[in-house]
């Protein structure tokens, strides 16, 4: 779901990150408010005032979404669910869970608290707006506060749609899960409904475009595309987790992987290893002891004319928790690590010795076969 992310801060033990796509939406929100909404409702203010209002309103929305996602995370923590953090991206934010909720009750509480928090935020801003009107605050202040009350109420209403993975869709999944006692079935039905809502939004967006409302139509179209994609992805993630649950890395690893000696030159490494085996990462080993890893990306950073003079040892990076797993680690952990780092191979180490290499390809082949047999 996410691209490149930037860590912003840590609060109450949760890492708050921002996907670079959020910068795009933040600029668009500030621009549309400053040049469209606020000038339409509040006449005869200066251009600078409109831009200050737009920027402050965008920051207020940013904070509101963080509070919304924090409410999910705090409930998850209360029930012992590990959380990776909170990431803001182009269509809002997400509290990243490392696992599915343990039962329908926890799912219901986690999902329900999101819209409730948004409604509470809307109520607070609306109260401040009424106070400002009563004591005579100017249009710039009242305009921003009124917008934040309205947008949080809108967010609460949108999230209540029974379209998985929106909060309303998760409430629906909790109900179906409780009814059938089958989380996979409940997720499949909820995801299908979420995908259907996505298609509906796509159609509405196209109709708006044909009617001349290009910007509004494109927003509906993009949100529909995102909702449909997120629904399908959420179901695939559950199926993947169920298929790999309880499986150990040992089952998938190659116990006799291709390794590189530390004295190998970069020229020989490229010719005898990269071009021959077509891997992007190789473990560097000396007498079964893992020295580190070398990747094609590292080699690319060295001028080609120096390849004959530099050895793998000089370039290899020491193994880190992002590149290694243990044979008895859960396969889900290895898959999550690959997804987070973008790598397709991990070095399997036991007592500082090379036990093997596990690849994404082998895990996905197993997953495909198991899913086909379980259908």
pLDDT single digits (tens) 209-265: 888 877 677 778 888 887 888 788 777 777 777 777 777 888 888 888 888 888 899
The pLDDT value given to residue 124: 94
Same domain? 220 vs 340: no
Same domain? 267 vs 221: no
- Of 219, 244, 269, the one marking the end of a domain is 244
d(CA 125, CA 61): 11
Same domain? 12 vs 145: yes
Both structure tokens of 331:
């396969």
Same domain? 20 vs 137: yes
Same domain? 140 vs 223: yes
Q: Which of 51-55, 74-78, 83-87, 234-238 has the lowest mean pLDDT?
A: 83-87
Confidence of residue 81 (pLDDT cuts 50, 70, 90): confident
pLDDT single digits (tens) 103-148: 888 888 888 888 899 999 999 999 999 998 888 888 889 999 999 9
Same domain? 55 vs 85: yes
The pLDDT value given to residue 375: 53
Q: What angle do CA 322, 230, 370 make, to 5 degrees?
A: 65
Same domain? 78 vs 224: yes
CATH number at residue 334: 3.10.580.10
Same domain? 177 vs 259: no
pLDDT single digits (tens) 2-39: 456 667 667 666 777 777 767 777 888 888 888 888 88
What mean pLDDT comes out for the span 186-198?
87
Report whether 290 contacts 313 (CB < 8 A).
no
Same domain? 48 vs 108: yes
Report whether 112 contacts 167 (CB < 8 A).
yes
- Long-range contacts for 139-147 (Cβ within 8 Å, ≥24 apart)? 139/42, 139/45, 140/42, 140/45, 140/49, 140/52, 140/53, 143/38, 143/41, 143/42, 143/53, 144/53, 144/56, 144/57, 144/60, 147/33, 147/37, 147/38, 147/57, 147/60
pLDDT single digits (tens) 250-286: 888 888 888 888 889 988 988 998 899 888 888 888 8
Residue 374 clears pLDDT 60, i.e. is over it: no
Which residue, 160, 173, 165, is CA-closest to 118? 160
Residue 1 clears pLDDT 70, i.e. is over it: no
pLDDT single digits (tens) 298-356: 888 888 888 888 888 888 777 777 778 888 888 877 877 777 677 778 888 887 788 88
Which residue, 66, 89, 76, 86, is CA-closest to 170? 76
Which residue segment(s) compose the domain that 300 sits in?
249-374
The pLDDT value given to residue 217: 79
Instruction: Give the three-state DSSP class for 6.
Output: strand
Report whether 190 contacts 164 (CB < 8 A).
yes
Residue 118 CB: number of other CB atoms within 10 A? 26
Same domain? 232 vs 292: no
Same domain? 110 vs 235: yes
Report whether 204 contacts 220 (CB < 8 A).
yes
Number of domains composing the chain: 2
Between strands 281-286 and 289-295, the pairing is antiparallel
pTM of structure: 0.70
Same domain? 204 vs 92: yes
- Of 226, 244, 262, the one marking the end of a domain is 244
- Of 244, 260, 286, the one marking the end of a domain is 244
Q: What are the φ and ψ backbone dihedral angles of 300, each rounded to 5 degrees?
A: -60, -25
């Amino acid at each position: 779901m996410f691209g490149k992310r930037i860590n912003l801060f840590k609060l109450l033990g949760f890492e708050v990150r921002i996907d670079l796509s959020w910068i795009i939406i933040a600029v668009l929100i500030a621009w549309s408010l400053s040049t469209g909404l606020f000038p339409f409702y509040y006449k005869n203010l200066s251009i600078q005032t409109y831009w200050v209002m737009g920027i402050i309103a965008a920051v207020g929305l940013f904070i509101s979404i963080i509070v919304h996602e924090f409410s999910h995370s705090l409930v998850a923590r209360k029930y012992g669910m590990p959380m990776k953090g909170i990431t803001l991206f182009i269509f809002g934010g997400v509290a990243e869970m490392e696992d599915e909720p343990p039962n329908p009750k926890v799912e219901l509480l986690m999902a329900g608290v999101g819209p409730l928090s948004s409604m509470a935020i809307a109520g607070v801003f609306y109260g401040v707006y009424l106070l400002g009107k009563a004591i005579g605050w100017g249009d710039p202040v009242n305009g921003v506060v009124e917008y934040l009350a309205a947008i949080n109420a809108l967010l609460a209403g949108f999230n209540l749609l029974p379209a998985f993975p929106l909060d309303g869709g998760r409430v629906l999944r909790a109900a179906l899960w409780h009814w059938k006692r089958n989380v996979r079935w409940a997720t499949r039905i909820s995801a299908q409904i979420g995908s259907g809502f996505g298609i509906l939004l796509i159609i509405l967006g196209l109709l708006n475009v044909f009617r001349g409302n290009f910007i509004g139509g494109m927003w509906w179209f993009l949100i529909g595309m995102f909702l449909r994609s997120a629904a399908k992805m959420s179901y695939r993630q559950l199926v993947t987790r169920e298929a790999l649950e309880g499986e150990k890395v040992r089952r998938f690893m190659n116990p006799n992987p291709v390794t590189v000696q530390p004295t190998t030159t970069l020229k020989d490494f490229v010719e005898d290893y990269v071009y021959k085996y077509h891997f992007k990462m190789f473990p560097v080993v000396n007498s079964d002891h893992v020295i580190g890893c070398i990747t094609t990306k590292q080699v690319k950073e060295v001028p080609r004319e120096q390849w004959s003079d530099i050895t793998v040892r000089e370039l290899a990076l020491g193994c880190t928790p992002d590149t290694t797993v243990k044979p008895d680690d859960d396969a889900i952990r290895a898959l999550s690590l690959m997804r987070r780092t973008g790598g397709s191979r991990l070095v399997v180490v036991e007592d500082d010795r090379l036990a093997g290499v596990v690849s994404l390809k082998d895990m996905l082949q197993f997953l495909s076969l198991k899913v086909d047999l379980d259908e």
